[in-house]
Amino acid sequence: MDEIELKVTKRDILGKKVRFLRRQGITPVHLFGHGIESQALQCDTARLQQVLADAGKTKLINLRIDGEKKARSVIVREVEVELPRRGLVHVDFYQVRKAEEMKVEVPVVLVGEAPALKLRENTLLQELDTLSVECLPTKIPASVELDISSLTESDQVLRVKDIELEKGVTVLNDPEVVVAMISVRRVEEVVEEAVEAPEEAPPPEEEPKEE
């Protein structure tokens, strides 16, 4: 697997003044981690966007700080964007220890086809989007897959315990938590009540004219 690398430089501009960096195509970033001194850094926005797309929040990144000979192994911890244009505002990186297990959230991806969905009244619901796992940084999965091909009937469910993971990756969620299920759509019958036309009142009787 190709390594993901990002070059950064140390940042002196702090606080509200960082908006001037963004106008120049530079994004402020922050590095922190267990047992290290946090650092204010900055990097090219275009390159950072590419790295975020490739790494997500699960892949290791070789962070090369200008002036340091050795790259640091980090993962993306937090990404702040500005709505509605979704421009990058700030990114936090967490420096990992390759020999120390860590807890991360990993996306859950449903794969396969559920036979139960052949019936129009059935629908598939994904109740859990991410899975909490603990493992070494080098074993963090980009995502975890759950095969839904065993869902053949309505009201069937798949739980956390049905997910198979690589050896060395421990699931922290409750095994009984539902990940995906087949639900039946409720079709409400609209009964139109016949509206009876009001009875017309009989015409008033004419009084006899006096001759």
What architecture is the 4-95 domain classified under in CATH? Beta Barrel (2.40)
The domain over range 102-184 is classified in CATH as 2.170.120.20: yes
Q: pLDDT confidence of 195, banded at 50, 70, 90?
A: low
Cα 148 to Cα 55: distance, rounded to the nearest angstrom: 26
pLDDT of residue 211: 46
Q: What is the pLDDT of residues 48-97, one digit of tens each?
A: 999 999 999 999 999 999 999 999 999 999 999 887 776 889 999 999 99
pLDDT of residue 15: 83
Cα 33 to Cα 30: distance, rounded to the nearest angstrom: 10
Cα 191 to Cα 195: distance, rounded to the nearest angstrom: 12
Domain ranges of the chain: 4-95, 102-184
Q: What is the pLDDT of residues 98-125, one digit of tens each?
A: 899 999 999 999 999 999 999 999 999 9
